Every structure is written in structure tokens, then in C-alpha cells.
């Protein structure tokens, strides 16, 4: 009786995909690891080269043709966070997909941009860590400013939710 192998056919024999994967792993182990194992300087070179390529600070996302200016992007993202918070608090029986699409379409029309332009601009700005941090901090400040404008009395107040305790 042949023992059953994971990924095998009902007869207990390994299927062709499993055989191919095992053969590839054997070839990698025999020919590639053997070369690196006997030459430690080659391994060190490969590790350093990999780190050098991985840590390259070059912007990988190209600048889109119709990039939304930074200040306008801050305003749009602040509004999109407000949209997301409104959608979060909708009742469970509401049609959140339709409402989301409607609110975002209104946002795009209001700012005279397209969905593709919005997505490519976000992708570009968030690709660089420093720019992303600056953008998100500016969005956070924008939301805090709007909160102070519309809710000035709750700025430093603690809300007591249990007056009869």
C-alpha cells in the first residue's frame, strides 16, 4: 500500500504539479545553494546587493499627468474622511454602496476631478513616506480645524455619560 501524500491523486501517487515542484526545489537546492554555500563572499555580495536595491529611495510611482495639487488633495482627503465617517454611522439596513458612490461622485464633481485622477494622485502622494506623512498630518489638521469651527463648545469639555451614578 502506498502512503497518501498531501497534494496527491486518489490513488496515493503524487500528482504532476507536486512532482514538478519537488523537482524544481531539488534543482534550486543542488545547483544554486551549493554554489553560495561554498563561497561565503558570494552570499555576502548577494545580501548587500539585495539590500541596496531594496533600500533605493527612488520614487517608484511616476508622477501622474493630472496630479491634484497638494493643498487641494488635503481638502479632498479631509472631505473623503468625513464621507467615510458618515457611511460608518449609517443604519445597517441602508444601501451603503449606493450612498458611498453618490457621495464620492458629488465630491469629484465639486472638485472638478475624476475618480482615476483621485486614485492616481493618492497613489503618488502615498508612495513616498515623507510626503505621505506630511499629507496625512495636513489632513488631520484640516479635520481638527473643521471640528473646532462646527463644535467649539466640545473642544475641552469632558462629556459625562452617566450623571446618575
112-127: pLDDT as tens digits: 999 999 999 989 988 8
Per-residue pLDDT, 151: 78
Report if residue 164 sits inside a domain.
Answer: no
**Residue 143: is its pLDDT beyond 50?**
yes
d(CA 41, CA 138): 47
1: pLDDT confidence band, cut at 50, 70 and 90? very low
Within this chain, do residues 95 and 124 fall inside the same structural domain, yes or no? yes
Assess whether 28 and 83 both reside in one domain: no
pLDDT of residue 105: 93
| Closest CA relative to residue 80, chosen from 100, 66, 64 | 100
- Looking at residue 69, its pLDDT comes to 93
User: Does residue 59 lie within any of the structural domains?
Assistant: no
Residues 20 and 47 in one domain: yes
Confidence class for position 63, pLDDT limits 50, 70, 90: confident
Distance separating alpha carbons of residues 19 and 128, to the nearest angstrom:
43
Which has the higher per-residue pLDDT, 74 or 51?
A: 74
Q: What is the pLDDT of residue 149?
A: 83
For the stretch 15-20, contacts whose Cβ atoms lie closer than 8 Å and that sit 24 or more positions apart, written own/partner, are: none
Is residue 7 a part of any domain in this protein? no
Residue 139 domain boundaries: 70-150
pLDDT at 72 over 90: yes
| Residue 85 pLDDT exceeds 60 | yes
104 and 129 belong to one structural domain: yes
Specify whether 34 is located in the same domain as 81. Answer: no
Give the total number of structural domains in the chain: 2
Asked if residue 62 is part of any domain, the answer here is no
Same domain, 74 and 129: yes
Q: Is the CB of residue 73 less than 8 Å from the CB of residue 135?
A: yes
Same domain, residue pair 79 and 49: no
Residue 1 falls inside a structural domain:
no
Average pLDDT over residues 32-61: 60
- Domain end, chosen from 54, 79, 102, is at 54
In a domain, 77, yes or no: yes
Same domain, 48 and 77: no
Amino acid at each position: 500500500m502506498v502512503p497518501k501524500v498531501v497534494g496527491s491523486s486518489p490513488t496515493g501517487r503524487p500528482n504532476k504539479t507536486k512532482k514538478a515542484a519537488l523537482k524544481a526545489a531539488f534543482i534550486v537546492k543542488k545547483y544554486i545553494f551549493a554554489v553560495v554555500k561554498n563561497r561565503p563572499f558570494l552570499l555576502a555580495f548577494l545580501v548587500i546587493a539585495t539590500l541596496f536595491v531594496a533600500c533605493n529611495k527612488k520614487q517608484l510611482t511616476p508622477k501622474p499627468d493630472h496630479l491634484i495639487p497638494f493643498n487641494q488633495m488635503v481638502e479632498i482627503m479631509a472631505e473623503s474622511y468625513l464621507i467615510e465617517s458618515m457611511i460608518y454611522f449609517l443604519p445597517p439596513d441602508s444601501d451603503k454602496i449606493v450612498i458611498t458612490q453618490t457621495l464620492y461622485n458629488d465630491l469629484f464633481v465639486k472638485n472638478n476631478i475624476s475618480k482615476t485622477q483621485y486614485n492616481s494622485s493618492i497613489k503618488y502622494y502615498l508612495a513616498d513616506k515623507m510626503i505621505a506623512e506630511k499629507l496625512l498630518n495636513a489632513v488631520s489638521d484640516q479635520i481638527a480645524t473643521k471640528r473646532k469651527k462646527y463644535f467649539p463648545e466640545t473642544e475641552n469639555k469632558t462629556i459625562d455619560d452617566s450623571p446618575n451614578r
